[in-house]
Amino acid sequence: MISTGTEMAAEQSVLGAVFLDPDVLDEITFLEERDFLIPKHKEIYKVMRFLEKRGKPVDIITVTDAYVKFGNIEKIGGVPYLSDLAASCPTTANVKFHAEMIRSKAMERRIKNTAQIIEGMSRSDYETDEEFFSYVEQLVTELRPVDNAKMLSFSESREEYYKHLKTPAEFIKTGFSEYDKWAQGIWRGWLFISAGRPSVGKTALALQRINGVAKQKEGVVLVWSQEMKRDSLKDRMISAETGIPFQRIKMKDLNQKEQKLVDMAYDNFEYLPIFMQDSSGVTIDEIKATAKQFKRKHGKIAMIVVDYLQIMSIPQTNGDTRALAIGRVTGQAKQIAMEQNCCFMMLSQMTRESDKGGIARRPVLADLKESSFIEQDADVVEFLWSEGERTSQGKIINQTFAKGRDIGVNEFKLLFLNWKQKFTELPREVKQA
């Protein structure tokens, strides 16, 4: 709850920011003139919106001119007050935050006022129960902020659409050629779920993708590991990159030649925009905050990877099922992918029923552990599973895409070279579903 004095300062800051840069009006489309507490601020904001809708400049001169024509300029404090507003705001950086403060306080006032009106109502003043409830519903409906910024007609969004058509599609190659040929890579804005039973190489595949995506230099890659230490992830990546057996790296049993290969590989990794955090019980709010910080610092995020979903810190409120709580996390993950314009990849467990009795079968979406909301929020769901096939080099893993928004479903076969924690695509005709 903010005080009247703070409200006054917030309102002045927002109006001053508009004078400083009228383009900020696009950032605060949610703010209504009725949200302002101070009457003259309501009037000034109303005139600003009037000018903006007519495509006219918004500055002290145009606001003054409009008010001279349609009202009493002294009613809003005259030209000196407008000048004070313009001078009072040195930056537009916090305009959205201050606008949200104003709106929140305005909603609180409206709710309290509406509660007083409802408290004073009498059923005897209305002919029927339905009429009585209808009026209460009308009062409550009027509380909701007016926000038409996201609801646009074809004519209103024509320019936006044609700009979209001229903007190249945003794919990021992964380094897996057959997959990239089919899906073009990972897509910005995706929530990508990679699921599998233990020992199929979920983490190894994720690390290989991380390496491949980072090499494209399309933004930073942020990795949260909740079961393995950062150095363990590096062991696997170094093994995959150099071909040195993973066990030799893990046991620190390297000869001079191998040590040089490690040094060269590490030097190359230092040039890649990969950032790792090894901590258990990460929260989706922590991921969101970190992503925003890296976006501000580095400009673009290519991919966020969390290993893995079900061991995140996921609070349950009273009456929540575990699936519902996980659904809130996947919903927020999708929102982060959209807001940060990146791919958000979450590794996930599968249910025990997916290989019940030791009989392998092609997984379906219901095999995702606590699946209902995960499959709903995800753009892509990938299953890694094995039918027990092997070659002299390693295990054959089926890579089944059971859901693919915009890309469809498909299946690939991968050879998991466990000894060096690396996957290769098996050359075959891709089976298109």
**Over the stretch 38-63, which tens digit does the pLDDT of each residue have?**
988 998 998 898 888 888 899 989 98
Please state which of the ranges 46-55, 90-99, 151-160 shows the lowest mean pLDDT: 151-160
pLDDT, mean of residues 300-325:
82
CB 295 within 8 A of CB 344: no
Q: Which residues contact 269 (CB under 8 A, 6 or more apart)?
A: 234, 237, 238, 241
Grade residue 151 by pLDDT with cuts at 50, 70 and 90. Answer: low
- Whole-number Å distance between alpha carbons of 423 and 329: 29
pLDDT of residue 359: 67
Residue 32: which of 91, 84, 110 has the closest Cα?
110
Written as six digits, the tokens of 159 are 């320019």
Domains annotated on the chain, with CATH: 4-141 (1.10.860.10), 171-432 (3.40.50.300)
Residue 421: which of 243, 266, 263 has the closest Cα?
243
- pLDDT at 377 > cutoff 80: yes
Q: Report phi then psi at 16, rounded to 5.
A: -65, -40
* Torsion sign over Cα 283, 288, 293, 299: positive
Q: pLDDT by residue (tens digit) across 170-197?
A: 889 999 999 999 999 999 999 999 998 8
Residue 80: which of 64, 65, 91 has the closest Cα?
64
Grade residue 139 by pLDDT with cuts at 50, 70 and 90. Answer: confident
Q: Which residues contact 433 (CB under 8 A, 6 or more apart)?
A: 408, 409, 410, 411
Angle between helix axes 39-53 and 78-88 (nearest 10 degrees) is 80
Neighbours of 433 (CB within 10 A): 10
CB 284 within 8 A of CB 329: yes
Written as six digits, the tokens of 158 are 């024509």
Q: Convert 74-107 to b/e letters by CB count within 10 Å (16 or more is b).
A: eebbebebbeebbeebeebeebbebbebbbebbe
Q: What percent of the chain has pLDDT over 70?
A: 92
Grade residue 355 by pLDDT with cuts at 50, 70 and 90. Answer: low
- Whole-number Å distance between alpha carbons of 283 and 285: 5
Strands 191-196 and 380-385: parallel
- Whole-number Å distance between alpha carbons of 151 and 135: 26
Residue 146: which of 30, 11, 28, 27 has the closest Cα?
30
Q: What is the DSSP string of 297-314?
A: HHS-EEEEEEE-GGGS--
- pLDDT at 312 > cutoff 90: no
Mean pLDDT for the chain?
Answer: 86
Written as six digits, the tokens of 283 are 């929260």
Burial of 397 (0-12, 13-18, 19+ CB in 10 A): buried
pLDDT of residue 420: 92
